[in-house]
């Protein structure tokens, strides 16, 4: 019933060393040599658009994901909302992996300065709110086949959201240094170990500025987290031919005041069930302005979780706590997979118990919190804690609402799916038997109040 989204937590660990420095005021950085002299066509830079973000030095290896995400989020807030706001990487680390959260991803020892808090952990943290802002969209590139992520998709995301986080090889790339007055980087290996921010591109950036290894023009403009003494004042150009794993964009909003949810993250999935419908019951008072969840998750032909590049649709309902009465309903369609908030056309007032129901149309699987993991990301000194209580979360299956905390629900649904030939395993396989014995799980549904 549950399948691990293995690619969803592709967190990076930097192998190269960097010295600690204080944050740098953007106005104090000489950017004159940090980007290629370009023409009118095929070039875009958030620096030229007037949105520099402070060059920071992350210090010891480990925290690159938080530093890259902080730059991406801060530039998004300035670019799309027009707000002058600073995002502090240490705050993102603490919010995403704090030892005292109670649930979710947590450190097992105090090593916040080197905590491997990646963009996905930070998605979950900012979806719960960050200093008055809430994540409302994070189109996702990490679970897609590499050949499905086009250059045009990434360029569009940069222009729409202000930047993209990405994973590259930083410690031993084939080309890494000064060429023709520019700091350039190229690597075609499979090993990736460092998260950066991509804030622009130049389709005409000369191939010869990457030595003899690159055959075609074009490069990404990257902001790193090794301080202003690294590269061109903290920036570099990375060839289009470099092996890169793109992660996330972040869209934040300041229109929501509170977020409630039963699930601290989305570490697993439920399905595949055509037009799967799940619901969670809450006890709260206020005005609901939207509901957030992951969309576009599906199983590929090889049985692995993937994220679609195509449109994905969803229906969200606010119902009475017993699911019998529909108080509000809204349909939404998004251009690709990722985390999205379905914004309500009008607020829905609730006072006491109510339910939020989500139908994932087509063959999308349901994002769920998954089971607790004592040794989360082996060797990283992290744990992942979840819980699911009877009466909290349900799935609508065979015309009946079934409690996801009840072990009988897993057994019933898995048996039915096996009989219908919908499982990639036999009913008596270790995978299915393990799924039947797992504790209940809450769907990843966030309820946003205005």
- CATH classification of the domain holding 14: 3.90.70.10
Final residue of a structural domain among 184, 215, 246: 246
**Would the CA dihedral through 59, 138, 44, 168 be positive or negative?**
positive
| In a domain? residue 189 | yes
| pLDDT value, residue 124 | 96
In a domain, 100, yes or no: yes
Q: Are residues 309 and 198 in the same domain?
A: no
Do residues 263 and 138 both lie within one domain? no
Same structural domain, 47 and 173: yes
230 and 290 in a single domain? The answer is: no
Answer yes or no: is 437 within a domain.
yes
Is residue 409 assigned to a domain? Answer: yes
Give the domain-ending residue among 224, 246, 268: 246
Query: Last residue of a domain, which of 246, 279, 312?
Result: 246
Identify whether residues 194 and 239 lie together within a single domain. Answer: yes
**252 domain-assigned:** no
Residue with tokens 């740098």: 24
Q: Are residues 148 and 266 in the same domain?
A: no
List of long-range contacts for 395-399, beta carbons under 8 Å, 24+ apart: 395/270, 395/276, 395/277, 395/278, 395/279, 395/366, 396/277, 396/278, 396/279, 396/357, 397/273
383 part of a folded domain: no
Which parts of the chain register pLDDT below 50? 1-35
Beta bridge partners of 284: 352
320 and 241 assigned to the same domain: no
In a domain, 158, yes or no: yes
In a shared domain, residues 230 and 284:
no
Domain count, the chain: 2
Residue 95's pLDDT is what? 94
Same domain for 236 and 117: yes
Sheet hosting strand 104-107, strand order edge to edge: 104-107, 382-385, 373-376
Q: Supply the pLDDT for residue 110.
A: 87
Instruction: Indicate whether 351 and 220 sit together in one domain.
Output: no
Cα–Cα dist 98/106, whole Å: 5
The tokens describing 330, both together, are 């809204």
CATH at 418: 2.60.120
Beta-strand pair 338-360/326-334: unpaired
Radius of gyration of the chain (CA): 22
pLDDT score recorded for residue 439:
67
Q: Are 194 and 307 part of one and the same domain? A: no
Q: Which domain holds residue 232?
A: 6-246
Is residue 308 in a domain?
yes
Q: What is the pLDDT of residues 377-393, one digit of tens each?
A: 777 889 999 999 999 99
Dihedral-angle region of residue 92 (phi above 0 means left; psi in -120 to 50 means alpha; beta otherwise): alpha
Nearby residues of 25 by Cβ (< 8 Å), 6 or more positions away: 54
Which two structure tokens, joined as six digits, stand for 173? Answer: 């790339």
Same domain, 241 and 281: no
Tens-digit pLDDT profile for residues 35-93:
456 667 899 999 999 999 999 999 988 899 999 999 999 999 999 999 999 999 999 99
């Amino acid at each position: 019933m549950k399948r691990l989204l293995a690619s969803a937590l592709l967190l990076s660990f930097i192998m190269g060393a960097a010295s600690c420095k204080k944050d740098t005021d953007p106005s104090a950085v000489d950017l004159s040599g940090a980007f290629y002299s370009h023409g009118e066509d095929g070039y875009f830079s958030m620096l030229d658009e007037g949105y520099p973000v402070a060059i920071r030095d992350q210090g010891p290896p480990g925290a690159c994901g938080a530093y890259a995400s902080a730059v991406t989020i801060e530039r998004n807030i300035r670019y799309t909302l027009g707000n002058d706001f600073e995002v502090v990487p240490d705050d993102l680390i603490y919010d995403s992996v704090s030892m005292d959260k109670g649930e979710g991803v947590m450190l097992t020892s105090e090593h916040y300065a080197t905590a491997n808090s990646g963009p996905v952990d930070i998605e979950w943290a900012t979806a719960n709110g960050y200093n008055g802002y809430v994540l409302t969209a994070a189109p996702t590139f990490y679970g897609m086949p590499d050949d499905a992520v086009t250059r045009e998709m990434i360029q569009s995301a940069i222009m729409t959201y202000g930047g993209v986080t990405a994973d590259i090889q930083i410690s031993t790339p084939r080309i890494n240094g000064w060429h023709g007055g520019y700091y350039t980087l190229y690597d075609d290996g499979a090993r990736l170990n460092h998260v950066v921010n991509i804030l622009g591109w130049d389709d005409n950036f000369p191939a010869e500025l990457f030595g003899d290894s690159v055959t075609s023009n074009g490069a990404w403009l990257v902001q790193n987290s090794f301080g202003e003494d690294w590269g061109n004042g903290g920036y570099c150009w990375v060839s289009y031919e470099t092996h890169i794993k793109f992660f996330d964009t972040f869209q934040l909003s300041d229109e929501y005041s509170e977020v409630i949810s039963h699930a601290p993250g989305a570490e697993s999935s439920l399905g595949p069930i055509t037009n799967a419908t799940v619901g969670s019951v809450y006890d709260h008072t206020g005005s609901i302005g939207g509901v957030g969840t992951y969309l576009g998750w599906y199983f590929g032909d090889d049985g692995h979780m993937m994220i679609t590049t195509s449109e994905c649709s969803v229906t969200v309902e606010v119902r009475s706590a017993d699911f019998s009465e529909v108080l509000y309903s809204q349909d939404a369609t998004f251009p690709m997979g990722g985390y999205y908030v379905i914004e309500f056309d009008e607020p829905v007032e609730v006072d006491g118990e109510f339910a939020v129901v989500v139908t994932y149309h087509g063959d999308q699987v349901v994002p769920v919190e998954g089971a607790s993991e004592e040794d989360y990301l082996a060797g990283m000194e992290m744990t992942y804690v979840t819980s699911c209580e009877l009466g909290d979360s349900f799935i609508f299956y065979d015309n009946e609402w079934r409690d996801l905390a009840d072990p009988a629900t897993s057994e019933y649904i898995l048996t039915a799916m096996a009989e219908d030939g919908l499982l990639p395993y036999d009913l008596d396989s270790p995978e299915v038997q393990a799924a039947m014995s797992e504790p209940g799980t809450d769907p990843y549904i966030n309820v946003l109040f205005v």
